[in-house]
Amino acid sequence: MNYIIPLITLFALLILGLSFVRYKLAIVLYLSYMILVPYFFIDLPVWSFSNSSVVAVLLGVLIFDFRLKKNISPDFTAVMPFFFLLASLLLITLFTDMSSPKFQLYNWGVDFMNVCVFPFIIWNVSINDDKFVINAKNSLMISILIAGMYAILTMKLGGENPYAAFISSHLNLEIDYIGSYIEGSRIRNQGTMLHPFNWVYYLCLLCCYFSILLLKERKRIYLLLFCFIAFNIIIADVRTGLASMIIALTYIYVRYNNIRKTIFYGTAIVVIAALIIAANEELSQRFLSLIDISGTRTELEGSSFQMRIEQFYGCLDEISHSPLFGNGYGWTQYYLSIFLEHPVIFGFESLIFTVLCNHGMAGVIIWLIFGSMLFRVPRKILGIKKNVYCVDGLVVFFFTYTVATGLFEWLAPFALFYSLLLGYLYQEEKKKLIQSSFYEYSEN
């Protein structure tokens, strides 16, 4: 396993180096890196680089390429909701004193680079280069195939995950899950990530992304990829991910197609999946464990409604000294890094709890405005209603998943896929407009 770290370091250095000379290729490789490697690191004897370093270089090269070479003005439309959110939350930090200002500013800076700047780069490159959209799509396709095959392999190893365990050990990362997470009789697969929830989150984002591509392009490869990713979600054994994905896909397909088609295809998929699961005893047991709400099949129990109410009151107690502005940016992460778990709220396992404790009632209002902006932006950019509904479905997934599990670092991947999907749909509409104009010109 000793060869893994040099290979990962070389991969990261390649991305950093290409950022100066071929930044579009560097972005495509960086997308693969995010799926295949759980943590970005370049440890050299003289200097250490983070993903923020790569994003900063990409931003500088993009501005140079757009403004000085091509005289193109960068566009902020797709990422305005994220700029609004981060700027508003930074303003709130001026009125909080429960967290260290240095800690808050550092975490805000990291989030700003990943949530705002990188999606800004993705969006601007996507709308100005249709080949980039294709290359990014192919990069994600290959990466998830490799990562998904590895995840299936770890299940055959009885839950062992040597890759994730080796990287976490090398980086001295303090995480709860080393290898695949085993509790009771359940094995939660974490694939190439450091936590099962992170792995399932990326799987669901990719599943939504490629299911939308399936609707648009009608290619069998996307159907096969969709089934492959869905299979990985099932064996990952995270109920929240499966439920959130089903809700999002139901929304997309009902709004995109008529209800009869949705019912027909949905029934066909359920029947085929049931036959495959029934034919394999291990899959049958895993699926029964996944849908077991009572907890009789496993020792792992979810949060009850009463527990959620108690946690909500625990949040109100935590911000009783400052109900309007909360405890400060990233306070929940700061608290968990010291105490590991809250006596009432536990791991702040809901977006509602995280926002309340960090930013108070002002934060709740900001997030509501942010949510409405996420739905309004596609209506400004896209002209076809069905395309708008596709982006809406991605937003539905994000809020469904984070309200049930928490926020943490999951805003950045969503911002990335949000801008990437908007870029893809923008290019698709642009091509249709050019084709229709060409046909009209030919007829005349």
3-state SS of the chain is: CCCHHHHHHHHHHHHHHHHHHCHHHHHHHHHHHHHHCCCCCEECCCCEECHHHHHHHHHHHHHHHHHHHCCCCCCCHHHHHHHHHHHHHHHHHHHCCCCCHHHHHHHHHHHHHHHHHHHHHHHHHHHHCHHHHHHHHHHHHHHHHHHHHHHHHHHHCCCCCHHHHHHHHHCCCCCCCCCCEEECCEEECCCCCCCHHHHHHHHHHHHHHHHHHHHHHCCHHHHHHHHHHHHHHHHHCCHHHHHHHHHHHHHHHHHHCCHHHHHHHHHHHHHHHHHHHHCCHHHHHHHHHHHCCCCCCCCCCCCCHHHHHHHHHHHHHHCCCCCCCCCCCCHHHHHHHHHCCECCCECCCCHHHHHHHHHHHHHHHHHHHHHHHHHHHHHHHCCCHHHHHHHHHHHHHHHHHHHHHCCCCCHHHHHHHHHHHHHHHHHHHHHHHHHHHHHHHHHC
Pairing outcome for strands 186-188 and 42-43:
unpaired
Last residue of a domain, one of 260, 277, 302: 302
State which of 269, 302, 335 marks the end of a domain: 302
Q: Are residues 298 and 309 in the same domain?
A: no
Provide the pLDDT for residue 80.
97
Q: Which of 106, 39, 79, 88 is nearest to 330 (CA)?
A: 106
* Amino acid identity for residue 40 in this structure: F
On whether both 65 and 85 belong to a single domain, the answer is no
Please answer whether residues 316 and 391 qualify as being in contact, where contact means their C-beta atoms are separated by less than 8 angstroms. no
165 and 260 housed in the same domain: yes
260 and 379 within one domain: no
What Å distances lie between residue 245 and 8, 27, 136, 233, CA to CA?
31, 27, 22, 9
Integer Cα distance of 24 and 399 in angstroms: 30
What pLDDT is attached to residue 299?
42
Give the pairing type, strands 181-183 and 48-49.
unpaired
Residues 142, 281 within the same domain: yes
Looking at the structure, tell me whether residues 149 and 121 fall in a common domain. no
336 and 204 in a common domain? no
Residue 70 makes CB contacts below 8 A (sequence gap 6+) with none
**Same domain? 198 vs 277:** yes
**What's the domain range around 398?**
79-128+305-444
Domain boundary among 302, 319, 336: 302
Residue 289: alpha-carbon gap to chain centroid: 25
pLDDT for 67 equals: 79
Question: Which pLDDT score is estimated for 402?
Answer: 92
Regarding whether 280 and 153 lie in a shared domain, the answer is yes
pTM for this entry: 0.89
Instruction: Identify which of 373, 377, 367, 387 has the alpha carbon closest to the alpha carbon of residue 430.
Output: 387
Label residue 116 exposed, middle or buried (CB < 10 Å: 0-12, 13-18, 19+).
buried
Residue 98 has a pLDDT of 73
pLDDT values of the chain reduced to their tens digit, one per residue, 444 residues: 677 888 888 998 899 899 999 999 999 999 999 999 987 777 666 667 788 889 999 999 999 988 777 788 899 999 999 999 999 999 998 888 777 788 889 999 999 999 999 999 999 999 999 999 999 999 999 999 999 999 988 887 776 788 888 887 777 765 544 444 444 445 678 889 888 889 999 999 999 999 999 999 989 899 899 989 998 998 887 888 888 998 999 899 888 876 666 666 666 666 666 665 555 555 555 555 555 544 444 444 455 678 888 999 999 999 999 999 999 998 998 888 888 888 999 888 889 999 999 999 999 999 999 999 999 999 999 999 999 999 999 999 999 999 988 766 789 999 999 999 999 999 999 988 887 665 555 665
Domain count of the chain? 3
Q: Which of 404, 403, 407, 427 is nearest to 415 (CA)?
A: 407
Q: What is the CA radius of gyration of the chain?
A: 22
Residues 161 and 269 in one domain: yes
Contacts of 286 (CB under 8 A, 6+ apart): 234, 235, 237
Distance CA 352, CA 349 (A): 9
Q: Provide the pairing of β-strand 181-183 with 186-188.
A: antiparallel
Backbone dihedral angles phi then psi of residue 181, each to the nearest 5 degrees: -80, 125
pLDDT of residue 86: 96
- Give the pLDDT confidence score for residue 179 in this predicted structure: 44
- Same domain, yes or no, for 283 and 296? yes
What values do phi and psi take at 131, rounded to 5?
-65, -35
Is the separation of the CB atoms in 77 and 127 below 8 Å? no
- Are 123 and 193 in the same domain? no
Q: Yes or no: say if 296 and 337 are a contact pair by the CB < 8 Å rule.
A: no
